[in-house]
Structure 1
Amino acid sequence: MSVSLRAAEAKDCFAICEIYNFYIQNSVVTFDEQSMEVSQWEEKLSYLNKQKFPFIVAETDNGEILGFAYVAPWRQKSAYRTTVEDSIYLRAAATGKRVGTKLLEELLVLSKQAGIKEVVAVISDSGAESSVRLHEQFGFKKQGHLAKVGFKFDRWLGTILMQKSL
């Protein structure tokens, strides 16, 4: 299976929404609990494009979107302007096939080109061990652990904070 990466476009938002909603409904890797609408992803894509932040998709030769990755502002206060939080999500069938590796590698290159200095990963402390390993492969360092900051599927969840300087 050949996979190429490219900038996300509005036409990709249906697939992006489908991928993300799977994780909302079936996992604790996202703390969102309500399914998102395609229009919300269109708005997010437009906002991130205006900020000149990378938002990319992994696509097969036949046009199937296997995953996506983007960076978004870490915090809204202006002093944080060169710090972002990354997000990477894959179709279940694409896990373990290095699609996430390709996405994160390209996302970091594009982020550096965009003038970003720090990338923060906020990762669920339950069920996201592969995400921790992926980020470690790219030099992210664990900076902290926040316990019991989320509650989903009748259980408390924490987050692992990881960071990489570009």
Structure 2
Amino acid sequence: MYTISDATSADLDACQAIYAHWVATGTGSFELDAPDLAEIVRRHAEVVGRGLPWLVAVDAQGRILGYAYANWFRPRLAYRFAAETSIYVAPDQHGRGLGRALLQELLTRCEAAGIRQALALIGDSANAGSIGVHASLGFEHAGVLKASGWKFDRWLDVVIMQKALGPGADRDPS
């Protein structure tokens, strides 16, 4: 069993370790070198400074099982109502529904924060798990950036998925 809550600075070591594993072994992130803790702290501060969620799933023993956050799709102010989602779970937690639970709570918090469009830029078109989790929560396929990343000596696509939150584009955000 686990709880999902806002990440604190004490949680960021574990977030960095989870992410470092996936940078080194997976194609979900196109980073080639894992960022250090100072960079994760900076990223966390940027996300929460924008009023956006950074969540952790914690088990009864206090172990961080995974994390999720949303940040503006691009840094320009016009993108402030479109957030890109990111979810990473510990390697031993795959296939247990944790990623879906984190994403569901992330979407709830994004909508409460005024986000109108949730975007997923999924590294590797063969990443069926991530594509499936997003589709199960109502994300729709929005496109593919073919061969846009080079990692592990091969070209990788980026699958773009999108979900409207709240009134989406039906009303202005004011």
Q: TM-score, normalised by structure 1?
A: 0.97
- Match for residue 158 of structure 1? 157
1:131 equivalenced with 2:106 (yes/no): no
Q: Which runs of 4+ in 1 moved over 3 A?
A: none
- Match for residue 145 of structure 2? 146
Contact 2:125 2:159 in 1 (8 A): no
SS in 2 for 1:103: helix
Q: For 1:139 and 1:127, locate their aligned partners in 2 and report how far apart those are by CA, in whole Å.
A: 19
**Alignment RMSD, CA only?**
0.8
- Match for residue 90 of structure 1? 89
Offset, 1:77: 1.9
Give the partner amino acid of 2:93: A
Q: For 1:77 and 1:51, locate their aligned partners in 2 and report how far apart those are by CA, in whole Å.
A: 12
Q: For 1:60 and 1:76, locate their aligned partners in 2 and report how far apart those are by CA, in whole Å.
A: 34
Q: For 1:24 and 1:130, locate their aligned partners in 2 and report how far apart those are by CA, in whole Å.
A: 17
Deviations, residues 22-78 of structure 1 (Å, cap 9, x unaligned): 011111110000121111111111111110000000000000000000001101222
SS in 2 for 1:46: helix
Q: TM-score, normalised by structure 2?
A: 0.93
1:112 equivalenced with 2:146 (yes/no): no
State the percentage of identical aligned residues: 33
Contact 2:85 2:119 in 1 (8 A): yes
- Match for residue 62 of structure 2? 63
Q: For 2:107 and 2:15, locate their aligned partners in 1 and report how far apart those are by CA, in whole Å.
A: 20
- Match for residue 75 of structure 1? 74
Q: For 1:22 and 1:126, locate their aligned partners in 2 and report how far apart those are by CA, in whole Å.
A: 20
Tell me, which stretches of 5 or more residues in structure 1 are unaligned?
none
- Match for residue 50 of structure 2? 51
Q: For 1:44 and 1:11, locate their aligned partners in 2 and report how far apart those are by CA, in whole Å.
A: 14
CA separation of 1:31 and 1:121: change in aligned 2, threshold 3 A: same
Contact 1:67 1:91 in 2 (8 A): yes
Offset, 1:125: 2.7
- Match for residue 18 of structure 2? 19
Aligned length: 165
